[in-house]
Amino acid sequence: MECKIEPQGKPYPAGNGFQPFLASADRLENGGVTTVIHDDEFSAKVDQILKEDRRYDRSAYAFLRDALDHTVGALEKKRKAGAGRRRRHVTGQELLGGIRDYALEQFGPMAFTVLTEWGVRSGSDFGEMVYNLIELQVFSKTENDRREDFDGGYDFVEAFVKPFEPRQRRFPLPHLETVDRG
């Protein structure tokens, strides 16, 4: 699953509109070629998906496309640093990790709220979206890839809420019966 898209402007609008995205074709040093799809084409493909499957918001698909690009870039950086082998493909679990990192980077403590508002509540939801895009040849897969690769992954509360909770409270929370209401 590879797609190279560079966002421009406000990338994840509320509602049904897309902001412009600039697509660029890059030949990765590992010999793989990213799939290039321009925003008009991507929007048309998402329109096709949404006619049949309304579970996920249009913005979730734009986010997924960018998260894939982010994941490919992060894996390429690791490879260049000598921490990984040459890559030609992103696995479902690698993509889920990249999605988590990208969501936290983009939305911080609002990541859980944004994703659930878009209808995405688990790694399986991302898998469903990926396979919707694969069916329309926006993303690609190998013979070893399966929809189930996205099952499990991580708990959304653990991934997107817990990192922003205080580790330790400075003061204990007051008991309701001792709070002065006066």
- Count up the domains in the chain and report the number: 1
Question: Is residue 176 assigned to a domain?
Answer: no
> In this structure, is residue 180 part of a structural domain?
no
- Give residue 98's domain range: 5-166
Q: Does a structural domain hold residue 118? A: yes
Residues ≥6 apart with Cβ < 8 Å to 123: 96, 150, 151, 152, 153, 154
Residue 33, pLDDT score: 36
Report if residue 175 sits inside a domain: no
- In this predicted structure, what is the pLDDT of residue 84? 54
Could you read off the pLDDT tens digit of each residue along the chain, which spans 182 residues?
Answer: 544 333 434 445 444 333 333 333 333 333 333 445 568 899 999 999 999 999 999 999 999 999 999 999 999 888 887 755 555 689 999 999 999 999 999 999 999 999 999 999 999 999 999 999 999 999 999 999 999 999 988 999 999 999 998 887 777 767 766 445 45
What is the pLDDT, as a whole number, of residue 27? 30
Q: Which residues of 5-20 are buried (b: 16+ CB within 10 A; e: fewer)?
A: bebeeebbeeeeebee
Q: What is the pLDDT of residue 86?
A: 59
Give the bridge partners for 6, in sequence order: 22
Residue 49 forms part of a structural domain: yes
Contacts of 80 (CB under 8 A, 6+ apart): 29
Specify if 137 maps to a domain.
yes
User: What's the rounded Cα separation, in Å, for the pair 181 and 101?
Assistant: 42
What sections of the chain are H helices per DSSP?
A: 39-52, 58-80, 92-107, 111-117, 123-135, 156-160
pLDDT of residue 180: 53
Task: Note whether residue 178 is domain-resident.
Answer: no
Strand-pair category, 5-7 with 21-23: antiparallel
Provide the whole-model pTM.
0.72
